[in-house]
């Protein structure tokens, strides 16, 4: 075993970790899938929202926004994996105050996803770089196609909310050749809502070629979503492919191309 002193997570927090990790709790559904695909015997806890793989059989620690910190402590993890966007800073801080090491990822682009996961698996967990990650890096190294459709991606209705700029999904769409109708952000320093509220008329408007309706976080279905649009065609898609980094990135590259 080796001792990694002075390691810093994606937010710059310094941790002292003993690797390889043998007891891991994941508070991020996409990272749960990635860990289960790499070393399933090391995964000792996950959230209620961790739905992949389908046969995942580990203790559940409630949700991403309200994890059961006492239950997590009781699992005696040598590392908890979290994400800046999906998990609350308060929960991360209190776990650390209880002596539980927490590695926080920060991912807003495809390249950040690949780099963050390489650091997580190779450095923090001490497992080396998994084969699926090498394959994903190769798949996403291909140049982005140009001239694709302009799309909108609602993530909620009543009120309607969409994927905006500076998000992993926005970058993934661009890398697949799409144009995000609500992704324009001329000033990267501006305080622009990454998931803005919009009126339905803005979604169902000229200039948008297609509305992609994912099944998470709002569960759009054939009966709930497409009927709202009179002008723009819609397509039901897997929210996992649009928002999860990890093994899902390979499937997204193959199936969501414009």
pLDDT tens digits for range 221-244: 999 999 999 999 999 999 999 999
Percent of the chain at pLDDT > 70 equals 94
Please state the rounded mean pLDDT for residues 147-170.
94
The pLDDT of 215-219, averaged and rounded, is: 95
Percent of the chain with pLDDT over 90: 85
**pLDDT one-digit tens code per residue, 35-91:** 999 999 999 999 999 999 999 999 999 999 999 999 999 999 999 999 999 999 999
pLDDT of residue 168: 96
Could you read off the pLDDT of 169-185 as tens digits, one per residue?
Answer: 999 999 999 999 999 76
DSSP the chain: -EEEEEEE-TT--EEEEEES---EEE-SHHHHHHHHHH-GGGEEEE-TT---STT--S-B---SSS--HHHHHHT--SEEEEETTTS-HHHHHHHHHTT--EEEE--SSHHHHHHHHHHIIIIIS-S---HHHHHHHHHTTSPPP-S--EEE-EEETTTTEE--SSSHHHHHHHHTT-EETT---S-TTS---SS-B--HHHHSSTT--EEEEESSSS--BTTBSGGG-SSS-EEEE-HHHHH--STHHHHHHHH---
Say how many C-beta atoms besides its own lie within 10 A of residue 90's C-beta. Answer: 10
pLDDT category at 207 given cuts 50, 70, 90 is confident
- Domains in the chain and their CATH numbers? 2-139 (3.40.50.1980), 150-255 (3.40.50.1980)
3-state secondary structure 105-173: ECCCCHHHHHHHHHHHHHHHCCCCCCHHHHHHHHHCCCCCCCCCCEEECEEECCCCEECCCCCHHHHHH
Supply the pLDDT for residue 2. Answer: 47
């Amino acid at each position: 075993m080796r001792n990694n002193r002075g390691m810093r997570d994606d937010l710059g927090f310094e941790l002292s970790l003993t690797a390889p990790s043998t007891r891991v709790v994941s508070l991020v559904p996409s990272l749960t899938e990635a860990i289960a695909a790499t070393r399933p015997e090391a995964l000792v806890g996950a959230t209620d929202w961790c739905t992949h793989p389908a046969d995942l059989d580990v203790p559940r620690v409630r949700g991403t926004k309200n994890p059961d910190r006492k239950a997590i402590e009781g699992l005696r993890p040598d590392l908890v994996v979290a994400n800046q966007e999906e998990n609350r800073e308060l929960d991360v801080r209190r776990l650390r105050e209880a002596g539980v090491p927490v590695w926080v990822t920060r991912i807003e682009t495809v390249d950040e996803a690949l780099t963050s996961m390489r650091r997580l698996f190779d450095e923090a967990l001490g497992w080396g770089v998994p084969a699926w990650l090498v394959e994903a890096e190769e798949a996403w190294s291909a140049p982005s196609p140009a001239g694709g459709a302009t799309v909108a991606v609602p993530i909620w209705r009543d009120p309607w909310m969409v994927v905006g700029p500076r998000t992993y999904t926005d970058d993934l769409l661009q890398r697949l050749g799409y144009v995000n109708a609500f992704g324009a952000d001329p000033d990267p320093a501006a305080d622009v809502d990454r998931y803005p509220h919009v009126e339905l008329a803005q979604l169902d408007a000229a200039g948008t070629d297609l509305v992609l309706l994912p099944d998470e976080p709002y569960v759009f279905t054939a009966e709930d979503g497409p009927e709202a649009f009179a002008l723009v065609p819609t397509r039901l898609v897997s929210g996992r492919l649009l928002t999860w980094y990890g093994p899902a990135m390979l499937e997204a590259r193959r199936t969501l191309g414009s």
